[in-house]
Structure 1
Amino acid sequence: MIQQIYPSVPHPYRYELNKDMHFAAAHYIPDERAGNCSELHGHTYFANLTIVGNELDECGFLVNFSLVKKLIHDRFDHSLLNGHADFTGDKQPERYPTTENVARTLCELVQSHLDGMANKPICSQVFLRETPSSYVVYRPAAGAVI
């Protein structure tokens, strides 16, 4: 695993959990303006999810690390992103599987699960590296979640 220092934002929560993971996936951007990215190709994505909160669950976790990995890895590893309902929309750029949209989707998927937890943790940031030299940081809009 790469040792990485991630950008972070000060927050008022007592706990901050960070989970690193890899997943391999193929995609294409269905727009000729995307250049080479409009052709089918793959990446080994590296993701870091930051989850914050004030309360621990009945096991003493903010969130179980393995749950976070399962939510992402089991869904997207060794798949074609364009084949997922989250990224189908040939005329909807907000649903193209760009790194930006994938990072946002990871945050939304995790947050959807977290919303059902009694201790109410929050996914505050997703760092998604597509290549060794290109990454995106996604944070929910101010006031939207935190």
Structure 2
Amino acid sequence: MIQQIYPQVQHPYQFELNKDMQFAAAHFVPHDEAGKCRELHGHTYFVNITIAGDDLDHTGFLVNFQQVKKLIHGKFDHTVINDHKELFNDQNPNDFPTTEVVAKKIWEIIQEHLNTLPNSPKCLQVFVRETPTSYVVYRPKAGDR
């Protein structure tokens, strides 16, 4: 994993967890104006997920790092992102597998899992680096957290 300084999220929580991971995946952007990205191609995505909360669970974790990795790396590594039809489609631009949308979908996957936990942690930020020079940060609006 490359050493990376991530944008910081200001928050009132006592604990902040950051999980770095990478996965290799292919995608294409299904729009005529996407240029070369219209063609199937791959990336090694670097992802950082920021989770915060005030309460630890019965094991002393805010969230288990392994579970966070399993949710994202386990789902996307060595896949074609477009094939995840439950998340992406070629009809709605909000569901095209652009880096922006991938970051938001990762947030949705993580937050859906966090909503099942009794200690109520929140996913504050998802950072997705698609290339060495291009990345996206997704932060939910305060009311979505």
* Alignment TM class, shorter chain as reference: over 0.9
Amino acid at match of 2:109: L
1:141 deviates by: 1.2
How far apart are the structure 1 equivalents of 2:5 and 2:86? 29
Give secondary structure in 1 for the equivalent of 2:75: helix
TM-score (norm 2): 0.98
Aligned length: 145
The residue aligned with 1:30 is 30
How far apart are the structure 1 equivalents of 2:99 and 2:9? 20
How far apart are the structure 2 equivalents of 1:119 and 1:87? 27
How far apart are the structure 2 equivalents of 1:90 and 1:9? 32
- What does 1:1-146 correspond to in 2, within 5 Å? 1-145=1-145
How far apart are the structure 2 equivalents of 1:52 and 1:9? 10
How far apart are the structure 1 equivalents of 2:9 and 2:88? 32
How far apart are the structure 2 equivalents of 1:5 and 1:126? 13
How far apart are the structure 2 equivalents of 1:97 and 1:120? 29
How far apart are the structure 2 equivalents of 1:17 and 1:24? 23
Unaligned runs of 5+ in 2: none
1:138 deviates by: 0.2
TM-aligned CA distance change 1:94 to 1:104, over 3 Å:
same
1:86 deviates by: 3.8
Amino acid at match of 2:43: H
1:87 deviates by: 4.1
Amino acid at match of 1:109: I
How far apart are the structure 2 equivalents of 1:127 and 1:112? 18
How much is the aligned-residue C-alpha RMSD, in angstroms?
0.8
Give secondary structure in 1 for the equivalent of 2:127: strand
Q: Per-residue CA shift, 1:7-48, capped at 9, x if unaligned?
A: 012100000000000000000001110000000000000000
Deviating runs (4+, > 6 A) in structure 1?
none
